[in-house]
Amino acid sequence: MTKKPAGTPAAGATNIPKVPIPRTVQWAIYAIVADIVFMLAHALMARGFTPQLERVLKHSNDTAKKPKADFDVVKSLHDYRTGLLVYGVVIAVALAILAASLRRPRGASGARWALLIITVLTAQSNGPLTVVPIADYPGALSVVRTLMGVSSIAVIVLILVPSSMQYFRACKAATRPAGAPVRPGLGGLFGPRGAAAQRGAAAGQRAVDRARREAATRPAEAATNPARPKAKAKVRADAEAAAKGAELARARAKASKSRRSDG
């Protein structure tokens, strides 16, 4: 049994070239880290400010379309704080994993879309909409919520700028297997057409031009060589006659076969 030398790549392993990370992606990662810090800080700071938060929750229940008659403000505040903490930890872990994936060519493109999806789904509690102030909310908590919204907006903008989009395209190209066809993806709907698409469009235009030239030269050929249309018409007539004869012969064979079986 031979021992593998150290440093030998495993079977089926592929060497993915390193893609330089632009500044915009680095800043997006910093914005994600800031969002995590502000989100956890908001959840921890909400353990205080009890009188103010109770007033906010009570006012929210009183102004609701269907206010609860047996509203328990103490239980509601406990649920609010617990939800902020649990939700903050879960989303923070997910954002940390996605931020690390942005630095790896194999997971950068998928991490970008996952970040956008999480931002949309959590827009009310950890996204751009947190910049909207809440009436009578404690001042310190309002500031942290606003910083959460600003960092979320920064993440969205930084991963959609042209230099970041070019980085994600380079990551997809670096992880594409050799000989695999290039797929433009969603960016191809809005960006410039690739070389393959341009070649296909040029080939289609050449075919259209050729058909137009043939249509233009057909009357001239008929005028210079009047026997050619007649020959084509004769060939078509002969083919139709042969088809009719074959069909007649099949009908006769069926008729004779049925007479033999009746006899």
pLDDT digits (tens, 9 = 90+) for 1-54: 455 555 444 444 456 677 888 999 999 999 999 999 999 999 999 999 999 998
Helix (H, G, I), strand (E, B) or coil at 43: helix
Gap between the Cα atoms of 20 and 23, Å rounded = 10
CA atoms of 99 and 21, how far apart (whole Å): 13
Cα-Cα-Cα-Cα dihedral sign, residues 138, 141, 147, 152: negative
- Token pair 């057409």 is found at 193
| Distance between CA atoms of residues 77 and 176, nearest Å | 51
Residue-level pLDDT at 78? 92
Which parts of 122-226 fold into alpha helices (H)? 123-126, 139-160, 162-175, 195-224
Q: What does the alpha-carbon distance between residue 164 and residue 24 come to, in Å, rounded to a whole number?
A: 6
Residue 98, C-beta contacts closer than 8 angstroms, at least 6 positions apart: 32, 111, 114, 115, 118
Q: Which pLDDT value is given to residue 97?
A: 93
Burial 240-260 (b: 16+ CB within 10 A, else e): eeeeeeeeeeeeeeeeeeeee
- Could you say which residues of the chain have pLDDT below 70? 1-16, 123-126, 176-212, 214-246, 249, 253-263
The count of other CB atoms within 10 Å of the CB of residue 138 is 19
Question: Do the Cβ atoms of 108 and 24 come closer than 8 Å?
Answer: no
**Which amino acid would we find at residue 226?**
P
Give pLDDT, residue 9.
45
Q: How many Å from the N-terminal Cα to the C-terminal Cα in the chain? A: 84
**110 token code pair:** 């998928």
Q: What is the 3-state secondary structure (H, E, C) of 8-21?
A: CCCCCCCCCCCCCC
Does the pTM surpass 0.75? The reply is no
C-alpha dihedral, 95 to 97 to 103 to 107, nearest 10°: -110
Q: Please give the helix or strand (H or E) that residue 96 lies within, else none.
A: helix 73-101
Do residues 16 and 175 make contact, with C-beta atoms less than 8 angstroms apart?
yes
pLDDT at 10: 45
| Residue 90, pLDDT score | 92
Residue 114, Cβ density class (10 Å: 0-12 exposed, 13-18 middle, ≥19 buried): middle
Structure tokens at 74: 């103490």
Single out the residue of 141, 115, 88, 136 nearest to residue 25, CA to CA. Answer: 115
